[in-house]
Amino acid sequence: MFSKGQIAGKISTIFVFSMLFSVALEANPLQKVVGVMNSSTFRASVNIKSGGSSFNGTLSYSGGKMNFRLGDGRVIASNGRKIFAFDPSTRTMGRQDAGGGGGLGWILSYTARIDGNRAVLTPNSPAHNYEEVRLSWDEGYFLRSISMKGKGGDVITIKINSVSRVASFPVSIFSYKAPPGSRTVDNPLNQRN
């Protein structure tokens, strides 16, 4: 049998460990950003810069699923299992298997240097897709911008503005259907020329 002092000591140890674990989780704002984004449903204006080009569009997002419509009619959508990319100029839709299941959880696998509401992420292994990721969030841990530098040096920057929270979206918005007469290419990123 344990004495009252031993029981009190074990309870204090468990309590202190629980507090430290809770503080460690609270101290990682990236986990909060991922949690907020995974539980958010919203519509927003988005600006994407890549190379010398800039694109604007409207993003409909719900817990890792998205539908992004650019001003020129292109659409990129994902239901978490598949990614759909439609180009109206060629009337072609690429339908690709999604590797990570959607959402921002992948950022937690990088090493992070955090300064206030900004972070610079670097890869832990050569298997990571990006050489560097920079992101910023607001006081509610809602993502405002993310910049991803690929291994070839190309940088894509996404800025989220004019956010409107919505209750829900129709499920079909995330499984984009190309207009009749369009050509569909399955898994174009896996094809070799």
The stretch 72-96 carries a mean pLDDT of 91
CATH number among 1.10.8.60, 3.30.70.890, 3.40.50.2000, 2.50.20.10, domain 25-177:
2.50.20.10
Question: What is the average pLDDT score of the chain?
Answer: 83
Read off the pTM: 0.74
Q: Report yes or no: 130 and 148 within 8 Å, Cβ to Cβ.
A: yes
C-alpha distances in Å from residue 115, one per residue of 20, 88, 108, 123, 138: 21, 41, 16, 18, 13
Residue pLDDT, tens place only, 134-168: 999 999 999 999 999 998 889 999 999 999 999 99
Least confident of 16-25, 50-59, 96-105, 161-170: 16-25
The stretch 6-11 carries a mean pLDDT of 42
What span, in angstroms and rounded, lies between the C-alpha atoms of 25 and 27?
5
pLDDT at 7: 43
Domain layout of the chain by residue ranges? 25-177
| Dihedrals phi, psi of 118, to nearest 5 degrees | -135, 155
